[in-house]
Structures are given as C-alpha cells and as structure tokens.
Chains A and B, each alone.
Chain A
Amino acid sequence: MTDEKKPTAPSEAVPAGSVSGIQQAPTTTPPADAGQRPGGEARPAPAAPPNVAPASPAAQQAKPGVVNATIDGIPVSVPPGTPIIEAAKSVGVDIPFYCYHKGLSIAANCRMCMVEVSNAPPGKLVPACQSPVAEGQKVTTNSPRVLEHHRAVQEFLLLHHPVDCSICDQAGECKLQDYFMEYDHDASRLDMPKWMKNKRKDLSPSITLDQERCIMCTRCVRFMAEVAKEPVLGAFGRGTREVIDVFPGKQMTSNYQGNVVDICPVGALTSRDYRFRARSYFLTATPSVCTGCSRGCNTFLDHFQGVPYRYRPRENMDVNQYWMCDIGRGSYHQLYEERVAKARVGKGDAVAAEAVRVAAEKLKGAGAAVVVSPVLSLEDAMAVMLVAKEGLGAKEIFVSGRADETGDDFLLRGDRNPNRKGVELAAQAFGLAVRGWNDLGKSKAKAVLLAGVDVPAAPEQVAAWLGGLDTVVALAANDGPVAQAAHVVLPLATHAEGEGTFVNFEGRAQRFLPAYPPRGDVKPGWFWATAIGAELGLAYRYASAREVFLEQSRRLAAGALGTFDWDDAPRDRIKGVTPLTGGTVDGRPPGWRQLVPLRTPNTAA
C-alpha cells in the first residue's frame, strides 16, 4: 500500500526493524481519535509479526530478541513468540491451516498445520499455529509423516461433508477444495450414510449457516467474541454431532457480522446478499476502497462482466486490519443500482458533446454556485474546482455529500463520505472558500453546478428547491429526484469505473483501481469537468485521472498527502477464470438473468 504513514504519537511508534503487524494492533487501531471500545479491553494480539530481516547467523546470535531456527532447511530469524506458521510463511513455506487467523486468538483445533519439530517429544507432531519458534529448532513441513497427517486430516474433514460444490457459494475459494487437491486427491472410503445436519439456519437477516459444511474451526465464534464483541455464537454438541449455532433466543446483530463469511474457510457461512448470485471463480477481484464512510477500508471489489457482486476486506493493518463493516459491505449496490447511463438535456437523452455544450453555455457568466460531493475522488474534485475557479470565476465551493450518521468506536465513522478531507484539501489548493450545504440555500445564485448528487437533505426537498433555479447542471452517478431536477445531466462514473484517490478522515490518501469500464456515456468527473472547461475556453486537456493528479496536485499544500505516490498503487488484482462460452456469451446457463434479477436492467443487465 502506498498509504501515507499515519502521524504517530510516541506510544504508537512502530519498533524499528519490525514490519507493521498485528502486534501493534491494539495501539495503532483504533486510531487515537476513534476512542476506546466500551470496557476498554484491547483487541487480542495473538501473534507477533515475523521479522524476516536477513542477517548472518553469527550476527543474529548477537542480536537480542531474535530466535533462530530452520524450516525445511531454510534458516529463519524471528522475534520470540512468533508461531512457526508465520515464520514459515516469511521464508516462502506454506503450511496448510483452517482455524488459524492472524486477527484472532489461536484455537489449534483443525489439526491441519501439524509439523515435525526437532524439540518435540518423540513421535509427536506439533501445531504450527500454536507453537512459537524455539532457538535452534529444526522444523520439517514436508516429511512423509507430515504429509500423511495432512492427508488424514483432509480425509477426516471431508468424511461427512455434503456433496455441495456445485451449489456452494464457496466453490473456487474453498480451502477444502484446495487442500484436497494438494494433500489427499483420493476417493472416499465412507461406507455409511453421511450425517445430516441443518442446512440452512439463518443466524441473522444477512448470514445463513449450513451446519453440514462446517468443519468446526470456530473462527466465527472467536471473531464474534473477540472482534465484533458480540459473543452470540458457540459450538454445541460433541464429536460428529458438534455444530455451530447461536445461543438460544439470540441473533447476530453486529455491524461486523459479514466478516464471518469471509473468514469461514469453507462454505458453511454464506452472505444472503451474495448467496447464489455469482460463482466466485469467475469474479475478478480489483483492489479498491470502500466509500461507505470516511474510514476508507481497503477492499477487493469482486466483479464479473461489468457488474459488481460484493466487497471483501483487504488487509491493511493501518486502516482496517482484516475487517470491514456491513454498512460498507452493502454499499456496492450503489455502484450499479439506479444509474444514469445517458447524458440528458431537459427530460430527454442527449448526445454527450451537446449536453456539455449546453451545460457550459448555461453556466457561463451565470455566477453559478459550485457544489462538490465528497464522494467524488480527489482528482474529480480538483478538476471541478479548476473549472469553478478559472472558468466560472467562483470564489467558494459548497460541499454536499451524504448526511452524517452515528459511527462506532471501531471502523465505522459518522461521516459517511469517503473523501471530505480530499475535497477540503483541493478547495484549499485552489484558494476556494469551503461552505457547507446549509450555506447553499442562503446564497443568491440562480445557477448551480452539482458535481455529484449526494445530498445531506431529503432528495425531494432538494429537488423542489432546485426546481426554482434558472440553471442546474448535475454530474450524476445515480438517478433520483436530484438528478431529475437538473436541466443538464452528465452521467458520472463511480469509483469502480475509474481510478483515483480518496483521502480518509485521518488524511491518508489511498488509491483505488478501475474495476471495469463504464457503460454508455458514463465518464469520470474529471472528464466532464475538463470538457465543460474546454467549452468555457480553458486550455486544460486531460486524458486520465493520473494526468489530472500529476498536474493539479502541485497546487496542494506541501506534504498535504504525506509520502503518497500516485503510481505506487496496489497490484494484487486477482483475475477470475475466463468462462468458456456455452449457450450464452458469458458461459452461464441460459436464463441465469431471470434466476437472479439485477435490479437495474438499464445499466446492469
């Protein structure tokens, strides 16, 4: 990640030579201004981060606080307390596991990560997730005994597993599948009927549990107790009859419950929002940033053929650790629901260039008030303000955006706009005074340029007020009363369709990548702003958000974005399997659109 290092208080200073890992989690997150959680209990710090700094063995011997060992013959030096599984990962040895999670306490109940170590009692394997590396220890992860153990555990876990891959959301990202091909790859030896359990138990309106698929790793139980702080899940029964369930009369209500779907290594916990809507192996995962609030949780946006299907949190220890909240998780719906696909002049569709010309003509010399939504990226905001300042002669901008709501003490912020800080920085850079939404009504302007139609008031009221103005030009991503009240509408791209930067509430600039190309006449905000500017006689011409940033970010106050480098973007895009065509253009069975109706046929179908 390219994130600017957060201003660190002395207590939050990262120890030299240590990668920012989970060890710092209790002090670095939640950030100082987010306050402590009720009870003041720090988040658990189950594992120390691996230190992979290479050094000669002699030098390491001399260094205090370092443990030296070998894993499959590879020397490794880590801080004391580092589990073998993390030490092995740091030197490229992958030990299989189900129940281990860096952000949760250690359970060591799946028995998949057992390895041979030189200092164990004879004949004993030890769990690599629970055993810290010992000085001089020799760890073997690929001996016949270890491999036979992996195979046996894998066979055991699949013994009563239902034959569900074909109808399971997890297929393609399931650890049972991955490890079966790697460690077992043999036929079933079960000669009795499989145990039947509850196949669809709703733990909450958004989470469904399939107890047959569960392998009892208890990640979800630990997550709800330790991170969500809502210990309503438990393991009931014993032996083959053991199941995960909610305590009687309880329900999952936490705003963070969606994470149990992500951490479930199998298809037991599924999201009812995502359930049966897509096959995960077709989805391409693009690194993105959640726009649900001003935290800017790092995400993967999973999409297929230009339709987003879900957000998943992307690890960033400085921002969101491994998690994201359900409000943010659901915000992807705005990326494709009720979209504006065509430019409009008046009530009818218009050719984009004509709409831009009309917009510029109406705005020219009208003394228009420029309203910038903090949902726009930094690049979009800068381009709009450039036109406001130099093309329309504005002295101030009005900041709209979604209305504030209640935040919490973990990730969710009260400010539900991803880029308020960025808009303020941009306004400052262009010497424009920042006015609030309420000041807009007091201004005498009879023309308004709305860059983004997110408003903190009831849209119908806003639309009624806009109806009394002479000119309303709107860059609108989502259709609604506000966009419909505008005289000229230019279809605006969301952050999934363009690239750019959001500056979160703590001043951290974060890049997001384009996930899929926009449809119809949809274009990013910087494009429309530059086009209107050109009609107004400005000489600025930009071909990409990058050009806007590189040229206009020079106006920002020195160090406003810290060490942010636009080109140093996350590269971990994961391409989905290209489906072979069969009957339909995307390889799905005919009629899948009828089975899973997309809610906006004009844009997403």
Chain B
Amino acid sequence: MPDNHEIADTSAVGALDAPLPRKTMSINMGPSHPASHGTVRFNIELDGENIVKLDPEIGFLHRGFEKSCENVTWQQCLPYTDRLNYVSALCNNFGFLTAIEKLAGIEIPERAKYIRTIGAEIHRLCDHLTCVGAMGMELGGFAPFLYAVEARELLWDRIAELTGARVTTSFGRIGGVERDLPEGWVQKVEDTLVKVEEFRHEIDELLTHNRIFIDRTRGTGVLSAEDAVDFGFTGPMLRASGVDYDVRKAHPYWVYDRVQFRVPLGTTGDNFDRYYMRMAEMEESISILRQCFAQMQPGPHIVDDWRFVLPPKPQVYSTIEGVIGHFKLIMEGVKIPKGECYSFTESPNGELGWYLVSDGSGRPYKVHCRAPGIQMVGALEHMVKGSLLPDLIPTFDAINMIGGEVEQ
C-alpha cells in the first residue's frame, strides 16, 4: 500500500473546501521495460511526476553462481564467470583466473599477459558500445544503437576467431590462456579497430552534441564525489564524479604498467559525464590495443607446470606421465594451495573483485564475486529521489547494470 505523505485534515471545519488530498502513486516498472536494459523491477512511488521512493528489486537472473562454484573444479568455474557480465566475458574470465593465480602464486608468461590485456580491452569496447548505444536508444535515438551494435558485432567476430565463441568465451586457463592468437588475427583486429573508430565517431556526432540527449542527461542523476566513494562506486561511474581511480593505473596488472593511456575524469558527476567517460575510454582502449600489438613478442602462452596446466595432448596419449597429469587435473581439479585471497581487476563497469578461499582440494571452498554494479543499483534511489520519473531512465542506463553479475 502506498504511504500517504501529505493528507489533508478532513476532520477540520470546511474540509470539503480543502484541496484534494495529495496521495502518492505506486507504479511498477520492469522487470522487462522497453526503456531500460537490465532485468530489474522498480517499485516506484511518485508524487505527481516526482520520485518519492524507489526500490529496485533484483534477482531475476539469480542462478546461485557462487554456490555452484563450490561443486566444480576451479577450472570448471570459468564458464560460470562468462555469465556474470555477459557482454564482456573475457574481463570476468581473466579476472577470475588472475585471482586463482594470486592464490596459487603462479606468474603467467609475458605473452599470456598481453593476450589477456588484448581480450579484456576488446570486450571493454564491446561493453561501452553497448552501454552508450542502449543509452541513446532508450532516450529516443535508435541510430546510435545500430551503429554501436554493428561495431560490437565486428569485435565479437574477432573474439569468436580467438576463443571460438562470441559471448560465452570461457577463454583462458589457470596459468595463461588456452591457445595463442590465430594467424593473421592481429591484422584483422587492426582493421576492425579502424571501423570501430568510425562507428564511435558516428555515435559521438549523433549524441554528444544532441540537444535532446543533453537535456535528458546533463544535470540528472548527479552524485558528488564524496557520495560516490561512500556508496562504493568504481569504474566510469566513480570517475564521472571526478575521483581518479582506475585499477589499471592504481594497481597495475598484466601489462597495464607498460602501455600509455589516460584516465578520463568527469567534473559534475551527472549522466552526461558518465556517458562521456565511456566514449573517452573507448579511445583509450583502442590505443592500448595498438600498443599491445606493437609490443608483444612471441613466446609461451601458458606456464609449463603440469600441476596447473593440462599436459600437451601427444604426451597424454602416449606417456604415462601425461595421462596421469591429465586424469588428475580433470577428475580432481587443479590443487590450489590452502588459503584465501582478494584480487581485483578493472572491468568495464568498475572493479570486479574476487574473494576466494581454498581448502587445498581441487574445488573452491568459497567463491565470492564483488560485482561492480551492485553498489550502484543500491545508490539508485539516492540519485533519483526527488527528480522526475524520466530522469530514472538515463541514470539507470549509465549504471549499466548487468543482472548476471549483480545477482549472484
């Protein structure tokens, strides 16, 4: 039942002459709404057109992912991580593997670090394209979305050539990546990046100076730097509020300390800044990719240690050492030393953290995922309270909530 916020005192003399009691209206938005991406239901209380109260109800994509991990080997968790943020699966794959490697004390080969950086940056592009495209579409402009999806599709083709799958990549192994870059792939990506730059430019032209888009995004969903930090924001949402924190710069991993890139910062912390963070970061990602291609050298793509990595197939089929290594890693899993760790990487929407506990067996004792979106969904009411209902749309768009990772 809606709360009555201001109810006229009808018992008073002449009450009938008093203005009508102003009741708030309770409306329900979602879980599938044409003006939002992300499967979430909002219980909204409106006073007229203004939001009085907003209660996001998540859980429509809950699969018990963390618990499921406890029943499978460490390596078998990888397909589950694909389904966290399914637009940028490689960031999740590699982030999870990096956490396991921290726990096991494995140093992966140089080339694997470059391949991981390349994969993660391509998927960062995909994620940002999806976010800005969907944001434009949900604010009324359909063309940017088509350009964004066209560009994303080109990149996903490259990902499919690398991993065998467009979305659910399950790429990467404990100790490196499953296989080296395909022949001629680098040149194909270079060509694709030129096209992606063109599409990015088109979207930029269509949205960044678009009067309607600016009206809907500028000054809406504003969050101060202090509040953003207090709520636990990370990623573009935090940087839009002017806080200079990017895991890739603050705690460099893989090869981020060897490539040059800038961390764009916003000034006002409104939805336009959040949009523009992503547009700017796409440029940086393209630059990082080109630097990686220029820097990377041939070499092994996975560590040579049979405690963690499956033996090469010829050895498995013809030697007892190989068949034992294969059998033990498949049936019992990679034995990760007893202990616990927290490891984090910069995923497109913010810090993707992994808290892992191992009891020394081949299966995780506990897996916890710190998804970047959950804190932002939690702050949604704070950002839109008192503002108009239409302001909810760009604010929720800018969060880029992914149900798969928010609802573990």
Contacts and interface: CB of A to CB of B under 8 A. Distances in A.
Contacts of A164: 320
B319 A188 contact: yes
A180 B329 CA distance: 12
Nearest to A166: B323
Contact of B322 (A177, A188, A577): A188
Contacts of A177: 324, 327-328
Sorted from nearest, which 3 A-B pairs have the closest CB atoms? Answer: A188-B319, A185-B306, A161-B320
Nearest to A157: B320
A181 B319 contact: no
B320 A162 contact: yes
Nearest to A213: B320
A30 B59 CA distance: 64
Interface in B297-333: 305-307, 311, 315, 317-325, 327-328, 331-332
A187 B324 contact: no
A176 B306 CA distance: 15
Given A171-B327, A177-B327, A578 B321 contact: no
Nearest to A279: B331
Prevailing SS type, chain B contact patch: helix
B116 interface: no
Contacts of B210: none
A185 B326 CA distance: 11
Contact of A577 (B315, B321, B325, B332): B332
Interface of B: 71, 76, 305-307, 311, 315, 317-325, 327-328, 331-332, 335
20 contacts: A162-B320, A163-B317, A163-B323, A164-B320, A176-B324, A180-B328, A181-B306, A181-B325, A181-B328, A185-B306, A186-B306, A187-B306, A187-B315, A187-B319, A187-B321, A187-B322, A188-B320, A188-B321, A188-B322, A281-B332
A556 interface: no
B331 A172 contact: yes
A301 B182 CA distance: 51
A187 B320 contact: no
A326 interface: no
Contacts of A338: none
A172 B332 CA distance: 9
A550 interface: no
Nearest to B328: A181
Given A161-B320, A177-B327, A186-B306, 10 more contacts: A158-B321, A163-B317, A165-B324, A177-B328, A185-B307, A185-B325, A188-B320, A190-B319, A281-B331, A580-B76
A422 B366 CA distance: 45
A180 B331 contact: no
Contacts of A181: 306-307, 324-325, 328, 335
A224 B351 CA distance: 64
Contacts of A180: 321, 324-325, 328
A184 interface: yes
Nearest to B323: A165
Contacts of B71: 578
Residue of B71, B307, B320, B325 with highest tally of chain A CB at under 10 A: B320
Interface residues of A, number: 23
Residue of A162, A180, A281, A578 with highest tally of chain B CB at under 10 A: A180
Residue of B307, B311, B324 with highest tally of chain A CB at under 10 A: B324
A343 B223 CA distance: 71
Interface in A150-204: 158, 161-166, 171-172, 176-177, 180-181, 184-188, 190
Contacts of A172: 331
A277 B76 CA distance: 27
Residue of B306, B307, B331, B335 with highest tally of chain A CB at under 10 A: B331
Contacts of B311: 187
Contacts of B331: 172, 281, 577
Interface in A203-249: none
A577 B306 CA distance: 21
Contacts of A163: 317-320, 323
A2 to B, nearest CB: 27
Nearest to A171: B327
Contacts of B315: 187-188
Contacts of A281: 331-332
Nearest to A180: B324
Nearest to B305: A185
Residue of B307, B321, B328 with highest tally of chain A CB at under 10 A: B321
Nearest to A184: B321
B379 to A, nearest CB: 40
Contacts of A580: 76
A181 B335 CA distance: 9
B304 to A, nearest CB: 9
A177 B317 CA distance: 16
Contacts of B335: 181
Contacts of A166: 323, 327
Contacts of A171: 327
A491 B170 CA distance: 49
Contacts of B318: 163
A281 B331 CA distance: 8
Contacts of A158: 320-321, 324
A253 to B, nearest CB: 33
Contacts of A188: 315, 319-322
Contacts of B321: 158, 180, 184, 186-188
Interface string A282-306: 0000000000000000000000000
B311 to A, nearest CB: 7
A580 B322 CA distance: 22
B321 to A, nearest CB: 5
A185 B322 CA distance: 9
Contacts of B76: 580
A435 B323 CA distance: 61
A184 B320 CA distance: 12
